[in-house]
Structure 1
């Protein structure tokens, strides 16, 4: 009785379905079937093919036929062969779009370079140090860490944050006034549900945050900004004001000392509330960071922060430092069970902070980001000296000032260079129309996230950026 192919010693590789049909030799028919499988996308770039002995046994053809077909397709560039890695579909082979769908042009696909702000390089995450903290945290975790969560957050993390923020940002608080959340968006939702009413926001800021507040029933009115931050002297009848005092997002100016004092005076005299988004407060490069506005009046200022810029947004860990009168209301708004932040990750972050690993990581990233910003400034000085970098040396992004009327064209030119980057107007409040002259700044610019690219891709990203900039 003939041996079944299922039990054959040669049939030990991965399965591969091929239709061997049409005229020609067995080798030609096999090569045609393999090319078609690659063209259609059924065999993706990098896919490992079965060993030729295994495929020959499966198809019922001679081993030499398969070996010759593989060798010729390697020579043509369809396949690659490497000792110890087997035969694979070549990485550069692009599949043909399926019937009925238009093939997407290469330039419309994923950009080769990414300078969109807001994301630190994922490769910079301190995996070893984080893993060490996770092991210690899990080893020492009390049993209640694996039960229902405290809506305020783990006590270990709140204590660590109170000490760290006091030491690094000058914050005046105690652990009972710290509430853990999953990031700035979560904090804003909670504050919107508790405070409500009408808020003033900076005329440039994250559209996502404005949309989130609108969904919670909060109407926002724009507050003009200049090189000294928000013009808080223009605050009208609002219940709260949302600011980025350490490093105005995205224009880059810090809130001037006189304005810091003025906004606290406004809150005291009107009963209003200041919400301080301290999104990248640790990352200032030209001098030591200025302390938080919260330190001027802990009963009138809510400080919000997270690890999304310093570690990773995927951790979903943030915090609010609250006036005592708001703690119970915020906890009630969160609900009885913590559903956003993992207790084990909270314990890990607490250990990461108290062990000193967080300080070491921030200092390391501060040097890295400063070097990145210096490279950006140097590239512009050499290739586009007419383009100025505005704002202070801080954070993970910079704004490049452009000639009036050129922003959209430059963003489009960048896309043709394979570069993703955003225009400054994308962040402008919709209630600041471009055809009015009411003190709002409407400059053209690019928001360049210099922390985003991996190390090996940063030089290429800067080159693509410079090619997209308008001539002098």
Structure 2
């Protein structure tokens, strides 16, 4: 037995009369019975009016009314004045299809301290909806025929935005619209592979998703250490000489996860390396718009647009669900990236992005987001200072995360497990190491982007409980070991 909502419409259900033998009314009756038995016409579905069905099948209206009448008499169809003809609300089927199981949304912990997630409660829904409506209303009919590819107004809008907001040296010809930063990385990695590159220098630690994308395109990831000044350029040059790698992936505005900007001296050194070895720097503009103690640092790309690929997206500034990002490419790489035929976001999405940028929607959203994140970061720092005064916090006043050094002898992996038992999402910094098994300080990466403001103190209280629980276990274990 199958039961569905009675407001479903099945006017477009295909009824194949040629699959059955006999007069037309017999064949139509068998076709309707088969559609019901196989579930193509579900219980409660509305059938088309007899005149419309007759016209679509090329039969007389009598054939349809005869079939409807017979099946209604058997209780298979339900014909009522004013509501049309429907499949009966409860009917038996010869081979009932399994009920579709509802897909449960991924449950996020109540206390979400995972990094890399923006404030989803304040996603710019209204601003994006307005941009979408205005884009649709103002788009000429001919533009709606476009199927794929970059939309020129979107590239113009992105070039203008990146030039004023990120100080990038960009024109529309340099811009490629992508489905996000990872999609952009995939396109660049594939193009570099085609140009003969076999390795990619990557920060260690760094965001693992970008490394995984590069590795999937057969680029070997070569780790380069990061310190309080960003990626160690001297170590990068040495790794380049050792491996022959001439491409590097870096996050100069706000290194993830260490949380520091690349120093001016190292910026110059990185560009000098790229020029000397005929190399390329891929600049992941992660978290670049969120700086709370001063204006954001300009893009590295402005220093050498012929040697730097700028990659960004709306994932952290707005929401990953929009699935929109961009690349700003050196002239020598454009044909290779565009020539691979990768699908662009839909024309409608690109036109909405155009309006979102040119009408100031993103600017308004960022102003509100910066204020919220700054207050939340200050509240988190105050709570940590109160509850865990011996734990050092590092990272500049920027972005959506900070780094917490744990007390001596307390292992981050154990704190993560203890936090999960308290419904607190925590992340061991080793998750972002290229070689996670190598010795490293015990540190947590605490994200506050999607942590609700009223939950900050409670989240830190539970984190403190988790740290103390692990510390107590370690002390007890050492005591047992000493007794033996």
TM-score norm. by structure 1 comes to 0.72
Alignment of 1:235-314 (within 5 A): 235=236, 236=240, 237-314=244-321
How much does 1:125 deviate? 1.1
In the alignment, structure 2 segments of 5+ residues that lack a partner are: 1-106, 473-484
Instruction: Encode CA deviations 1:403-459: one digit per residue, 9 max, x unaligned.
Output: 3552112112211221111110111112x6525xxxxxx222111110112344444
Secondary structure of 1:120's match? coil
What is the SS of the residue equivalent to 1:319? strand
Counterpart contact for 1:204–1:249, Cα < 8 Å: yes
Equivalences for 1:249-398 in 2 at 5 Å? 249-335=256-342, 338=343, 340-398=344-402
Residue in 2 aligned with 1:411?
416
**1:54 corresponds to:** none
Change (3 A) 1:334 1:455: farther
Within a 5 Å distance, the mapping from 1:103-182 to structure 2 comes to 111-151=109-149, 153-182=150-179
CA-to-partner distance for each residue in 1:297-336, whole Å, 9 max, x for gaps? 000000000000011001000000000111111111234x
Deviation of 1:115 after TM superposition, in Å, equals 1.2
Contact 2:387 2:460 in 1 (8 A): no
Query: 2: CA distance between counterparts of 1:377 and 1:144?
Result: 54
Q: Secondary structure at the match of 1:443?
A: coil
SS of residue paired to 1:162? helix
Measured after TM superposition, the shift of residue 176 of structure 1 is 0.7
Q: Which has the larger radius of gyration?
A: 2
The answer to whether the 8 A contact 1:417-1:467 is kept is: no
Using the size of structure 2 for normalisation, the TM-score is 0.70
Residue 123 of structure 1: CA displacement?
A: 1.2
Question: Structure 1 pair 469/355, CA: closer, same or farther in 2 (3 Å)?
Answer: same
Residues 424 and 459 of structure 2 are in contact (CA less than 8 Å); yes or no, is this contact kept in structure 1? yes
Distance in 1 between residues matched to 2:178 and 2:245, nearest whole Å = 25
Relative to structure 1, the CA distance from residue 409 to residue 164 in structure 2 (aligned partners, 3 Å threshold; closer, same or farther) is: same
Offset of 1:463 from its aligned partner?
Answer: 2.7
Instruction: Report which stretch shifted further, 394-403 or 340-349.
Output: 340-349
CA RMSD of aligned residues (A): 1.9
Distance 1:111 1:316 in 2: 24
1:199 aligns with 2:200: yes
Moved more, 414-423 or 396-405: 396-405
Aligned to 2:218: 217
Instruction: Work out the CA distance in 1 between the residues paired with 2:147 and 2:256.
Output: 33
CA deviation after TM superposition for structure 1 residue 144, in Å? 4.1
Q: Equivalents in 1 of 2:118, 2:454: separation in Å?
A: 15
Change (3 A) 1:216 1:134: same
Judged with a 3 Å threshold, the aligned counterparts in structure 2 of structure 1 residues 429 and 227 are, in CA distance, closer, same or farther, namely: same
> Matched residues in 2 for 1:144 and 1:175: separation?
22
Q: Matches of 2:245 and 2:154 in 1, distance apart? A: 33
Q: Look up the SS of the partner of 2:340 in the other structure.
A: helix
**In the TM superposition, what are the counterparts of 1:34-45 in structure 2 within 5 Å?**
none
- The CA deviation string for residues 370-391 of structure 1, in whole angstroms up to 9 with x for no partner, is 1111011000111111112111
Distance across 2 between alignment mates of 1:424 and 1:124? 27
Q: 1:456 to 1:145 in 2, by over 3 A?
A: farther
Query: How many Å apart are 1:264 and its aligned residue?
Result: 0.5
Cα distance in 2 for partners of 1:383, 1:286 equals 24
Cα offset for 1:209?
Answer: 2.1
CA contact (8 A) 1:171 1:292 kept: yes
**Does the aligned pair in 2 maintain the 1:158–1:175 contact within 8 Å?**
yes
Which shifted more, 445-454 or 182-191? 445-454
Is 1:190 matched up with 2:194? no
Q: Matches of residues 94-109 of structure 1 in structure 2 within 5 Å?
A: none
